[in-house]
Amino acid sequence: MKVFKFGGASVSTLERIQNLPTILEQYKSEKLLIVVSAMGKTTNALEKVVEAFFEGKKEEALQLFENLKHQHSQLAEQLLGKPLDQLIDFYTEIEWLLHDKPVRGFDYYYDQVVCVGELLSTCIVSHYLNHSGVHNQWVDVRDVLRTDNNFRDANIDWTFSKNKVKDTIEPLLQKSSIVLTQGFIGATDENESTTLGREGSDYTAAVFANLLDAECQTIWKDVQGVMNADPKLYSKAQWIQELNYNEMIEMAYYGAQVIHPKTIKPLQNKGIPLYVKSFIHPKEEGTYIHNARIENLPPIIVYKENQALVQLSSRDFSFVGEGLTAKVYNIFESLKFKPNLTQNAAISMLCVVDNQSDKVENFALRTSDFFDVQVQKDLTLLTIRHYNDTILQELCGTRSVLLKQQTPETIQVLLDKV
Ligand code: ASP
Ligand code: MG
């Protein structure tokens, strides 16, 4: 059997949903588990709903949710030729919550609200496929994938989930050749909804591929496959035919927005190959990611925009030894904040971080107990794997380099504003 993941862009419009049966036609004789994300930018819109709710702006939250209801209901009706009543149950659950007052933490409410994006999209897609003769069985993934209650970044309970997959998904796949479910979400042992981190549907698909011992996983995207750079940022970006797990995990780690960084491990652990293919040109080959030695890769370019450089300098010329370094890392850990690059010198330490303003401010405040702290914002962290001087010069241009770190394989430079 194979696992497919269709991301938000692949179900963002009427036409794109109508294109799904054509893609699936090619796999008629296969058993498929299909993971689908929320449509288009629904998750962002739901984030706005939950923010308004948490700030006590109930009417605004309800109004924002009303817009989403309208979009989903209208789309379903266009696809099916009649209203889809099942959507109402999902709407009602959220509206009940929005009528209450928040008494728990933000992350809890975030997960209870945001998960509906995936429930709505899969409900619509499943009905549409059945309506088009592509028979499939819809599953609420919250009955299968158990997580802890680390809301917004929940961790899978592998043992429980494995048994559930055995007891529920495997028999369903005997009966029906397609099982269709949600990415990105799960539930705790108390049946609270959880989410796995933004863009987490790739990871859900990999979890299923692992648990079902799938023969491969395919992520369907609006690009030809994995490129060596974001074509929007680098006009000479080229398609890569083949990669290994290691290269893919490094790319995702440095910030390439191709797949969720957690996706590779469950696949690598079982040697399951990953394909990244275009839902616009489904017959084209895409990128093949597996366990292999791959030579002659082009330079792989990753830009991380909106970076901040935090410079920590010791006040009295004392060395930044292991004690102070450990303190800095403890602060990172307690804020759930990860540096993208660090560099130590005798009496200072440099940290490059995502400029999430609340976290940067907290970090600066807490490190100021031990250091003089300076923060510089609006910077770009450029990473090039398999670099050479020509590409480095081309990409840095006339921008000044504030920091540079390199290994034989990878170079990272922090660039000042243009
Ligand atoms: N819908 C979620 C998001 O936009 C998960 C996903 O698309 O993978 O982050
Ligand atoms: Mg997505």
Task: Name, in order, each residue with C-beta under 8 angstroms of 181's C-beta and a sequence gap of 6 or more.
Answer: 33, 34, 35, 36, 122, 138, 139, 140, 141, 144
Closest ligand 1 atom, residue 204 Cα: 8
What contacts 361, CB < 8 A, 6 or more positions away?
Answer: none
The predicted-structure confidence for 196-249, as pLDDT tens digits, reads as follows 999 999 999 999 999 999 999 999 999 999 999 998 899 999 999 999 999 999
Task: Give CA–CA dist 215/19, Å, rounded.
Answer: 24
E strands, 202-298, are 216-221, 242-244, 274-278, 287-290
Q: Residue 381: what pLDDT?
A: 97
Question: Is the Cβ–Cβ distance between 275 and 216 less than 8 Å?
Answer: yes
19-37 mean pLDDT: 97
User: Which residues make beta-bridge pairs with 414?
Assistant: 381, 403
**Residue 41 in this model has a pLDDT that exceeds 90:** yes
φ, ψ dihedrals at 345, nearest 5°: -130, -175
Tell me the chain's radius of gyration from C-alpha atoms. Answer: 23
Q: What percent of the chain has pLDDT over 70?
A: 100
Residue 20 alpha carbon to ligand 2 centre in Å: 17
Place of tokens 């990415």: 183
Q: What is the pLDDT of residues 93-135, one digit of tens each?
A: 999 999 999 999 999 999 999 999 999 999 999 999 999 999 9
Q: What's the 172 CA to ligand 1 centre distance in angstroms?
A: 25
Q: For residue 118, say whether it is annotated as part of any ligand binding site.
A: yes
Annotated binding residue at 43?
yes
Tell which residue, 191, 180, 11, has the closest CA to residue 112. 191
Q: Which atom of ligand 1 is nearest to the CA of 118?
A: 1
Question: Tokens at residue 319, please?
Answer: 């060395």
Which distant-in-sequence residues (6+ apart) come within 8 Å of 346 by Cβ?
319, 320
Q: What is the mean pLDDT of the chain?
A: 96
Contact yes or no for 220/5 (Cβ under 8 A)? yes
Domain ranges of the chain: 2-214, 300-415
* Interaxial angle between packed helices 322-334 and 357-367, expressed in degrees from 0 to 180 and rounded to the nearest 10: 150
How far CA 275 is from CA of 94, 231, 287, 315, 399, in Å, comes to 35, 19, 6, 52, 36
Tell me the C-alpha distance between 309 and 353, whole Å: 7
Return the pLDDT at 372.
97
Whether the predicted pLDDT of 396 surpasses 80: yes
Residue 117: nearest ligand to its CA?
1
Biggest CA-to-CA distance, the chain: 74
Are the beta carbons of 6 and 204 closer than 8 angstroms? Answer: no
The pLDDT of 38-64, averaged and rounded, is 97
Burial of residue 415 (CB within 10 Å: 0-12, 13-18, 19+) is buried
Query: Hey, which residues does 341 pair with through a beta bridge?
Result: 352
Does residue 50 carry a pLDDT above 80? yes
Q: How confident is the model at residue 418 (pLDDT cuts 50, 70, 90)?
A: confident
290 Cβ contact list (under 8 Å, min separation 6): 242, 244, 245, 271, 273, 274
- pLDDT value at 6 more than 80: yes
pLDDT at 258: 86
Please state the pTM of the whole predicted model. 0.92
Q: Give 297's pLDDT tier (boundaries 50, 70, 90).
A: very high
* Each residue's pLDDT tens digit, 154-181: 999 999 999 999 999 999 999 999 999 9
Pocket probe mutation, ligand 1, options 72, 201, 207, max atoms within 8 Å of Cβ: 201
Residue whose token pair is 């290691």: 246
- Residue 275 pairs with which residues in a beta bridge? 218, 288
The one-letter amino acid code at 330 reads N
pLDDT band for position 51 (50/70/90)?
very high
Q: Do residues 415 and 399 make contact, with C-beta atoms less than 8 angstroms apart? A: yes
For residues 117 and 187, what is the distance between their CA atoms, to the nearest angstrom?
15
Kindly state the tokens that stand for 82.
């009649």
pLDDT band of 68, cuts 50, 70, 90: very high
Looking at residue 338, what is its pLDDT?
A: 93
What pLDDT sits at residue 219?
Answer: 98
Residue 31 in contact with residue 244, Cβ under 8 Å?
A: no
Report pLDDT for 417: 86
Q: Give the model confidence (pLDDT) of 320-367 as tens digits.
A: 899 999 999 999 999 989 999 999 999 999 999 999 888 999 999 999
Q: What does the pLDDT look like over 364-390, one tens digit per residue? A: 999 999 999 999 999 999 999 999 999
Please give the pLDDT value at position 255.
Answer: 87
Rounded CA-CA distance 40/281 in Å is 19
Q: Is the CB of 198 under 6 A from ligand 1?
A: yes
**72-81: average pLDDT:** 98
Q: Which atom of ligand 1 is nearest to the CA of 197?
A: 9
Question: Cα(11) to centroid of ligand 1, in Å?
Answer: 12
Length reported for the chain: 418
Q: What is the pLDDT of residue 324?
A: 92
Distance CA 156, CA 171 (A): 22
The CATH superfamily of 2-214 is Acetylglutamate kinase-like (3.40.1160.10)
As a whole number of angstroms, the distance between CA 33 and CA 3 comes to 5
Tell me which residue of 203, 18, 282 sits closest to 125, measured CA to CA. 18
**Residue range 300-415, CATH number:** 3.30.2130.10
Residue 67 near residue 45, CB atoms below 8 Å: yes
Whether the CA torsion 136, 142, 143, 147 is positive or negative: it is positive
Check the annotation: does 6 bind a ligand: yes
Tell whether ligand 1 has an atom less than 6 A from the beta carbon of residue 250: no
